[in-house]
DNA sequence: TGCGGACTTGAATGATCGCTCAAGTCCGCG
DNA sequence: CGCGGACTTGAGCGATCATTCAAGTCCGCA
């Protein structure tokens, strides 16, 4: 892990620190220390702190499939349950960090989108990949006629981000669980009279 | 407006600047300039920038009723429509700012909750007041038996915050509208076979 | 008239910010 | 061997950061 190439070490340090403290609150000096790198090296690969952020937002999508979506696809075959496994993934992150660590993209989206408009397309690409994955899963689900899958996937993303935000604000998982439970209800209603058959639901 | 007392002028300047640029990205010097105040005055009322933030989070709830909830209650009598009028309020804020200005509390929640844990209770109080208002409205709605109003209100808040976040990231209202449309569908399903009567729906 | 506390003034502080750059190391290729 | 480009080193830049404080103004009350 320490023998990764310099650029990747910088990105990994920035990823962790931006996630934990935010973009503005993280000084370049801290990134340098954590990455074990000197200023000149960082500024060899990235012209500015802002370009480092852009590099990170281009780096994120390459992590999503191996770390998030593929393990879920391997462990859970049923479409709707995959969505809730994805939410459970974020819940676990909250739980293990005492409701401190949420969605790294979401944090950056709110902090950075105004002051650095040039990263907006990169934020949107991350959101689009996330909701696109969910929409792909849901294509296999039996839902009410007329369900717009992209819209539903955007909705799931909104619920996740809003639920994470409330949990971080409250320092408690309760609002997260409440939002997810209500989302479950929405899916129940969407499946209720979907195809008449196969009301396959889960144990837990 | 300029003749408000000093403490309020500082809070108003901080409110606007934190909303537009975020907490970390806003320098104390900028707040001082916008408020037309000298450093000593600010530090007379607030011991630190962080206490100013806390003061702001205590100040916010006093704005919610007169600016947000009461006008909605006056203009819209039907419970569920009040919820969507509230969402339309945030949509208007996004639209008028080119998808830059979202929910001020949500921004602060993500930026600040980790690094300044002592403001967490204040964030939660703001969220609780928001969702409490929504839950109060929904008490008059005819929804499916077994609907948990607090849970549903937390869900609405999550959708709103997540939808605002996506709109700001994308620089477009489309994801916001998508999430709200799906939330409308959820309410439609909750009302569908609620009390059999009074399926009062709206024109627009 | 004079005292005291609330509030204002504004220069100054040390720390930290993002960033630069000249010098140097290293390695592949001729 | 020798050239050139990729990358590293690390001291140091000016700017800005949040904050301090001694001095001063103002006003209600005695």
Distance B86 CA to D27 C1' (A): 46
Average pLDDT over residues B91-115: 96
Residue B2 has pLDDT above 60, yes or no: no
Say if the Cβ atoms of A170 and B127 lie within 8 Å: yes
Q: What is the CATH number of domain B61-192?
A: 1.10.357.10
Q: Please determine, for residue B40, whether its predicted confidence score (pLDDT) is greater than 90.
A: yes
The rounded distance, in Å, linking the Cα atoms of B137 and B156 is 12
Count of A-B CB contacts under 8 Å: 178
Asked if A151 lies within 8 A of B109 by C-beta distance, the reply is no
pLDDT in tens, A122-131: 999 999 999 9
Residue in chain A nearest B27 by alpha carbon? A24
- In the complex, which nucleotide's C1' lies nearest to the CA atom of residue B36? C8
> Which tokens hold the place of A144?
């009410």
Quote the pLDDT of residue B1: 41
- Residue A183 with chain B: CB contacts under 8 Å: 155
Q: Where are the domains of chain B?
A: 6-59, 61-192
Say yes or no to pLDDT of B73 above 50: yes
* pLDDT for position A3: 59
Which chain B residues are Cβ-neighbours of A30 within 8 angstroms? none
Q: Which nucleotide is nearest to A31 (CA to C1')?
A: C18
Give the integer Cα–Cα distance in Å for A133 and A152.
Answer: 12
> In this structure, what are the phi and psi dihedrals at residue A55, rounded to the nearest 5 degrees?
-60, -40
Q: What is the pLDDT of residue A195?
A: 57
C-alpha–C-alpha distance, residues B71 and B191, integer Å = 25
Can you tell me the mean pLDDT for A93-109? 97
Q: What percent of chain A has pLDDT over 70?
A: 94
CA torsion through residues B167, B169, B171, B175, sign? negative
Q: At the top level of CATH, which class does the domain B6-59 belong to? A: mainly alpha
Q: Is the separation of the CB atoms in B175 and A154 below 8 Å?
A: yes
Cα-to-chain-centroid distance, residue B106: 7
Asked whether the predicted pLDDT for residue B114 surpasses 50, the reply is yes
Q: Distance between CA atoms of B114 and B23, rounded to whole angstroms? A: 13
Candidates A20, A186, A190; nearest CB to B114: A20
Nearest neighbour of B154 by CB, restricted to A101, A178, A189? A178
Confidence of residue B147 (pLDDT cuts 50, 70, 90): very high
Which B residues between 1 and 60 have a beta carbon under 7 A from any strand C atom?
6, 37-41, 44-45
> What confidence category does residue B4 fall into, taking pLDDT thresholds of 50, 70 and 90?
confident
**pLDDT single digits (tens) A1-46:** 445 899 999 999 999 999 999 999 999 999 999 999 999 999 999 9
Check whether residue B30 has its CB closer than 7 Å to nucleic acid strand D.
yes
B154-182 tens-digit pLDDT: 999 999 999 999 999 999 999 999 999 99
Evaluate if residue A74 carries a pLDDT over 80. Answer: yes
**CA–C1' gap, A41 and C23, in angstroms:** 14
Q: Do the Cβ atoms of A120 and B170 come within 8 Å?
A: yes
By CA distance, what is A109's nearest residue in B? B169
- In this complex, the residue of B22, B152, B179 whose CB is nearest that of residue A155 is B179
Chain B contacts of A151, Cβ < 8 Å? 178-179, 181-182
pLDDT of amino acid A198? 44
Alpha-carbon distance B75 to B71, whole Å? 6
Q: How much is the pLDDT for B28?
A: 98
Distance from CA of B40 to the nearest CA of A (A): 25
Res A28: pLDDT: 98
């Amino acid at each position: 892990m320490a023998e990764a190439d310099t650029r990747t070490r910088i990105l990994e340090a920035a990823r962790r620190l931006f996630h934990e403290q935010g973009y503005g609150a993280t000084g370049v000096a801290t990134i340098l220390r954590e990455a074990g790198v000197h200023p000149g090296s960082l500024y060899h690969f990235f012209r500015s702190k802002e370009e480092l952020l852009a590099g990170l937002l281009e780096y994120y999508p390459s992590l999503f499939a191996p770390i998030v979506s593929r393990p879920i696809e391997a462990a859970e075959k049923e479409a709707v349950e995959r969505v809730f496994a994805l939410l459970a993934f974020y819940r676990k992150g909250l739980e293990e960090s005492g409701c401190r660590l949420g969605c790294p993209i979401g944090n950056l989206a709110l902090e950075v989108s105004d002051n650095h408009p040039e990263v907006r397309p990169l934020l949107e690409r991350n959101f689009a990949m996330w909701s696109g994955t969910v929409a792909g899963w849901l294509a296999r689900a039996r839902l009410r006629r007329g369900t717009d899958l992209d819209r539903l996937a955007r909705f799931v993303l909104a619920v996740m981000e809003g639920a994470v935000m409330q949990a971080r604000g409250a320092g408690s998982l309760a609002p997260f669980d409440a939002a997810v439970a209500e989302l479950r209800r929405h899916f129940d209603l969407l499946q209720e009279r979907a195809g008449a058959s196969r009301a396959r639901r889960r144990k837990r």
